[in-house]
Amino acid sequence: MSSPAISLSYARGIQGEVTLPGSKSIANRAFLLAALAEGSTRLENMLLSDDTARMREALTALDVSMESGDEATQILVHGKGGRFSTARAVELFLGNAGTAMRPLAAVLAASDGEFILTGEPRMYERPIGPQIEAMRQIGADIEYLAESGYPPLRIRGTSLYGGTITLDGSLSSQYVSAILMVLPLLPQDSQLQLTGEVVSAPYIHLTVAMMRSFGAQVEVVSDREYRVKGGQGYKSPGVYWIEGDASSASYFLAAAAIAGGPVTVHGVGSASLQGDKKFADVLAKMGARVTYAERSITVEKGDALRGGDFDLNAIPDAAMTIATTALFAKGATRIRNVYNWRLKETDRLHAMATELRKTGAEVVEDADAITIVPPATIHHGTIETYDDHRMAMCFSLLAFAPAGVTILDPACCKKTFPDYFQTFQSLLT
pLDDT of residue 210: 98
Q: Which is more confidently placed, 170 or 2?
A: 170
Burial class (CB in 10 A: 0-12, 13-18, 19+), 304: exposed
Give CA separation, 107 vs 120, 141, 215, 285, in Å.
Answer: 21, 12, 17, 41
152, 117 in Cβ contact below 8 A? yes
Same fold, 6-21+244-426 and 24-228: yes
415 is in an annotated binding site: yes
For residue 149, is pLDDT > 80?
yes
Residue 40 marked ligand-binding: no
On whether 229 is known to bind a ligand per the annotation, the reply is no
Which value, in Å, is the radius of gyration of the alpha carbons in the chain? 21
Asked if 288 and 321 touch (Cβ cutoff 8 Å), the reply is no
Nearest alpha-carbon partner for 127 in 340, 305, 390: 340
Say whether pLDDT at 274 is over 90: yes
Phi/psi of residue 349, nearest 5 degrees: -65, -50
Kindly tell me if the per-residue pLDDT of 142 is higher than 70: yes
Q: Which numeric CATH code is attached to 24-228?
A: 3.65.10.10
pLDDT surpassing 70 at residue 263: yes
Residue 61 and residue 79 in contact, taking contact as beta carbons nearer than 8 Å: no
Among residues 279, 288, 258, which one has the least CA distance to residue 15?
A: 258
Cα 395 from Cα 227, distance rounded (Å): 41
Classify burial at 233, counting beta carbons within 10 Å of its beta carbon; exposed 0-12, middle 13-18, buried 19 or more: middle
| Strand 6-8 relative to strand 40-44, pairing | unpaired
Q: What's the mean pLDDT when you consider all of the chain?
A: 96
pLDDT at 291 over 80: yes
Q: What is the pLDDT of residue 303?
A: 86
DSSP state string for 128-166: -HHHHHHHHTTT--EEESSSTTSS-EEEE------EEEE
Q: In the chain, what's the furthest Cα-to-Cα distance?
A: 64
Q: What is the amino acid identity at position 318? A: A
pLDDT at 345: 86
Does 29 belong to an annotated binding site? yes
Q: In this model, does residue 213 exceed pLDDT 80?
A: yes
Per-residue pLDDT, averaged over 36-64, amounts to 97
Residue 417 and residue 244 in contact, taking contact as beta carbons nearer than 8 Å? no
- The domains of the chain are located at 6-21+244-426, 24-228
Residue in 414, 395, 429, 393 with CA at minimum distance from that of residue 326: 395
The mean pLDDT of 375-399, rounded to a whole number, is 97
Sheet holding 405-407, edge to edge: 6-8, 405-407, 381-383
Q: In the prediction, which pLDDT does 101 show?
A: 98
Indicate the pLDDT class of residue 140, thresholds 50, 70 and 90.
very high
Cβ–Cβ under 8 Å, residues 329 and 371: no
317 assigned ligand-binding residue: yes
Q: Is 172 annotated as a binding residue?
A: yes
Strand pairing category for 405-407 and 370-373: unpaired
Q: Which of 127, 73, 139, 67 is nearest to 98 (CA)?
A: 127
Please provide the CATH number assigned to the domain covering 6-21+244-426.
3.65.10.10
pLDDT of residue 14: 98
- What is the per-residue pLDDT across 303-312, written as a single tens digit (0 to 9) for each? 899 999 999 9
331-385: per-residue pLDDT in tens?
999 999 999 899 888 999 999 999 999 999 999 999 999 999 999 999 999 999 9
Q: How many CB atoms lie within 10 A of CB 295?
A: 16
Q: Is the pLDDT of residue 1 over 80?
A: no
Q: What pLDDT, in 10s, does the model give residues 98-121?
A: 999 999 999 999 999 999 999 999
pLDDT at 394: 98
CA-CA distance, 65 to 76, in Å (whole number)?
Answer: 9
Known catalytic residues? 317
pLDDT at 70: 84
340 assigned ligand-binding residue: yes
Per-residue model confidence (pLDDT) at position 335? 98
Tens digits of residue pLDDT in 229-261: 999 999 999 999 999 999 999 999 999 999 999
